[in-house]
Amino acid sequence: MSRLIDYQDAFGHEIFDYYQNQFGYEIIERDDGHIEVGAGPRAYFLEYKDWPAYEKEAMRRVQGRVLDIGCGAGRHTLYLQKTGHRVTALDNSPLAVKVTRLRGGRHVQLYSLMHIPTILRAYDTLLMMGNTFALLGSPARARWLLHHFHTITKEGGRIVGQTRDPYKTDQREHLEYHMLNRGRNRMPGQGKIRVRYKKYVGPWTDYLFMSPDELRRVIKGTPWRLTEIIDGPAGQYVAVLDGT
Q: What are the residue boundaries of the structural domains of the chain, listed by start?
A: 50-192+205-243
CA distance 215 to 142: 10
**Architecture of the structural domain at 50-192+205-243:** 3-Layer(aba) Sandwich (3.40)
Amino acid (1-letter code) at residue 213: D
Asked whether the whole model's pTM tops 0.75, one would answer yes
pLDDT of residue 120: 79
Contacts of 9 (CB under 8 A, 6+ apart): 93, 94, 95, 200, 202
Query: Can you give the pLDDT of all 244 residues of the chain as single tens digits?
Result: 567 899 999 999 999 999 999 999 999 999 999 999 988 899 999 999 999 999 999 999 999 999 999 999 999 999 999 999 999 999 999 999 999 999 999 999 999 998 898 887 899 999 999 999 999 999 999 999 999 999 999 999 999 999 999 999 999 999 999 999 999 999 999 999 999 999 999 999 999 999 999 999 999 999 999 999 999 999 999 999 999 9
pLDDT of residue 2: 64
Where would I find the beta strands (DSSP E) of 74-131? Answer: 87-91, 108-110, 123-128
